[in-house]
């Protein structure tokens, strides 16, 4: 039996890949290469506006799912930490930026003071219902996205807090724990973690999903010899005007030729002090960003993934060492990591239907902000007051 298994592994090239990997480990230590950050206006443009889009989208979901048609500001304030807004920006001030999305009214509290209350406009309701329809039509695809996220982890499990940080990027419903996870009891289970937090665990491994995007695209993007040896190279592109020194060019060329370790396989045999281990780290984040709708996420959203993904210390340094694969945008007072290959100029190469709806929502936000600055809504309010008099 063991001879049969050994022969099968040899015929499939598995032992060759492992042995080759160990050879490379001994040969290629982690080269101390530092590449400068260069501003890329085109890549920055794909990040601008995403903070407000996310915050407004979450607020719409909260109000829509409420049993009341209008939600008091103090109830919305409970969710402020999930919105990602600047600390010095009042929540009510943000909501009032978009009067074509949020309809304001008020009621008197027990002390006779007016309490702001916010509902949704017809336009906002229309777009959100379209979003709900898309989520339902693509529910199995989003189920698989969540499965693949958990499959990247060592124990097929993540704290809900960590998933919450990524749910908007992944396209999951705001209330995914109830409206989504509960509909797939055969795939997911809530568990109590050692630190007493609640986590989400994947119940079984699906080989069909354990194929990375780099592997899927290998047939058309890689050389035949590279496919045979599993020395896949990542698609790269530099910011215009990026000057790469000869030493760095030679290192990058050699690094791209190193064996590729799938992010869905056990990598405990790799020495973290080697470039081949770093290529695995890059592969993990390359796959993670492919799971997101906009192929981007805030750097802080992955800060809690080191242990679950079995990553070394200071693992996010990989973003800085590989500016041809990842771009770090400093817009919105935070650092956002963008997968370069996913964009052609400022446009996504492949747009998910949910992305198209978000773009429509973003246009509505922009229009509301512009109309408000022109005093359109003030005039409308004044006209209503005159009519009442």
Cβ contact 58:79 at 8 Å: yes
- pLDDT-derived band at 314 (thresholds 50, 70, 90) equals confident
Please state, in angstroms and rounded to a whole number, the distance separating the CA atoms of residues 256 and 275: 10
Q: What percent of the chain has pLDDT over 70?
A: 84
- pLDDT-derived band at 30 (thresholds 50, 70, 90) equals low
Q: What is the largest CA-CA distance in the chain?
A: 94
Please state, in angstroms and rounded to a whole number, the distance separating the CA atoms of residues 280 and 154: 14
Tell me: pLDDT of 12 over 50. no
- Answer whether 50-129+358-370 and 139-205 agree in fold: no
| Mean pLDDT of the chain, nearest integer | 86
**In the CATH hierarchy, which fold is given to the domain comprising 50-129+358-370?**
Arc Repressor Mutant, subunit A (1.10.10)
- Neighbouring residues of 341: CB distance < 8 A, sequence distance ≥ 6: 234, 235, 236, 237, 325, 349
Tokens of 2: 């063991």
Higher pLDDT, 21 or 236: 236
Task: Report the sign of the C-alpha dihedral through residues 32, 38, 40, 46, in that order.
Answer: positive
Residue whose pair of structure tokens reads 């950050």 in the numeric block = 37
- pLDDT-derived band at 24 (thresholds 50, 70, 90) equals very low
At residue 378, the pLDDT reads 59
Rounded to the nearest angstrom, the gap between the alpha carbon of residue 133 and the centroid of all alpha carbons in its chain is: 21
- pLDDT-derived band at 230 (thresholds 50, 70, 90) equals confident
Cβ contact 277:267 at 8 Å: yes
Higher pLDDT, 387 or 50: 50
At residue 315, the pLDDT reads 86
Range with the poorest average pLDDT among 4-18, 102-116, 351-365: 4-18
At residue 109, the pLDDT reads 80
Cβ contact 226:234 at 8 Å: no
At residue 377, the pLDDT reads 63
Please state, in angstroms and rounded to a whole number, the distance separating the CA atoms of residues 80 and 94: 11
Give, rounded to a whole angstrom, the gap between the first and last alpha carbons of the chain.
92
At residue 26, the pLDDT reads 40
At residue 117, the pLDDT reads 94
At residue 316, the pLDDT reads 85
Tell me: pLDDT of 379 over 60. no
Closest alpha carbon to 93 in 107, 66, 73: 73
Residues 292-317, mean pLDDT to the nearest whole number: 91
Closest alpha carbon to 294 in 39, 79, 37, 49: 49
Q: Report the run of H or E that residue 116 belongs to, with start and end.
A: strand 114-120
- pLDDT-derived band at 124 (thresholds 50, 70, 90) equals very high
At residue 389, the pLDDT reads 29
Tokens of 166: 């990524």
Please state, in angstroms and rounded to a whole number, the distance separating the CA atoms of residues 76 and 211: 40
Cβ contact 296:349 at 8 Å: no
Please state, in angstroms and rounded to a whole number, the distance separating the CA atoms of residues 316 and 308: 14
Q: What percent of the chain has pLDDT over 90?
A: 62
At residue 239, the pLDDT reads 83
Residues 90-107, mean pLDDT to the nearest whole number: 93
Tell me: pLDDT of 296 over 80. yes
Range with the poorest average pLDDT among 25-29, 98-102, 153-157, 243-247: 25-29
- pLDDT-derived band at 68 (thresholds 50, 70, 90) equals confident
Residues 100-125, mean pLDDT to the nearest whole number: 90
Find residue 128's DSSP bridge partners.
none
- The correct answer on CATH 1.20.120 for the domain covering 139-205 is no
Domain ranges within the chain, ordered by starting residue: 21-44+208-347, 50-129+358-370, 139-205
At residue 16, the pLDDT reads 44
Cβ contact 355:343 at 8 Å: no
- pLDDT-derived band at 231 (thresholds 50, 70, 90) equals confident
At residue 31, the pLDDT reads 64
Residues 350-365, mean pLDDT to the nearest whole number: 96
Cβ contact 133:126 at 8 Å: no
Task: Report the sign of the C-alpha dihedral through residues 243, 246, 249, 251, in that order.
Answer: negative
| Cα-trace Rg, the chain | 24
DSSP string computed for 279-328: HHHHHHHHHHHHHSSSSEEEGGGGTT-TTTTTPPTTTTHHHHH-TTTEEE
């Amino acid at each position: 039996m063991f001879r049969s298994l050994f022969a099968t592994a040899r015929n499939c090239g598995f032992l060759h890949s492992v042995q080759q990997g160990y050879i490379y480990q001994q040969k290629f230590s982690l080269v101390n290469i530092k590449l400068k950050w260069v501003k890329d206006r085109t890549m920055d443009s794909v990040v601008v506006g995403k903070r407000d889009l996310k915050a407004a989208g979450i607020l719409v979901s909260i109000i829509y799912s409420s049993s009341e048609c209008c939600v008091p500001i103090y109830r919305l304030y409970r969710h402020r930490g999930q919105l990602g807004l600047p600390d010095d920006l009042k929540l009510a001030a943000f909501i009032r930026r978009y009067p074509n999305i949020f309809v304001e009214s008020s009621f008197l509290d027990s002390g006779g003071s007016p309490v702001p209350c916010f509902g949704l406009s017809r336009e906002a309701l229309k777009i959100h219902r379209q979003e709900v329809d898309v989520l339902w039509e693509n529910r199995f695809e989003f189920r698989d996205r969540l499965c693949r996220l958990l499959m990247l982890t060592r124990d097929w499990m993540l704290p809900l807090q960590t998933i919450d940080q990524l749910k908007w990027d992944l396209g999951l419903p705001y209330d995914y724990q109830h409206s989504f996870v509960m509909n797939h009891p055969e795939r997911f289970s809530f568990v109590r973690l050692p630190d007493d937090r609640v986590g989400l665990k994947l119940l079984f491994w699906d080989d069909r999903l354990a194929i990375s995007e780099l592997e899927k695209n290998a047939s058309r993007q890689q050389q035949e010899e590279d496919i045979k040896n599993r020395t896949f190279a990542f698609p790269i592109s530099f910011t215009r005007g990026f000057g790469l020194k000869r030493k760095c060019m030679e290192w990058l060329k050699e690094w791209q030729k190193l064996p590729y370790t799938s992010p869905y396989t056990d990598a405990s045999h790799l020495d973290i002090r080697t470039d081949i281990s770093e290529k695995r780290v890059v592969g993990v984040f390359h796959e993670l960003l492919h799971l997101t709708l906009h192929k981007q996420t805030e750097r802080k959203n992955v800060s809690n993934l080191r242990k679950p993904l079995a990553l070394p210390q200071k693992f996010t340094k990989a973003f800085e060492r590989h500016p041809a694969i990842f771009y770090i945008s400093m817009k919105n007072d935070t650092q956002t990591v963008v997968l370069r290959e996913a964009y052609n100029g400022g446009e996504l190469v492949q747009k998910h239907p949910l992305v198209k709806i978000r773009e429509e929502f973003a246009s509505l936000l922009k229009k509301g902000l512009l109309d408000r600055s022109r005093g359109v809504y003030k005039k409308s309010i004044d006209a209503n007051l005159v009519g009442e008099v």
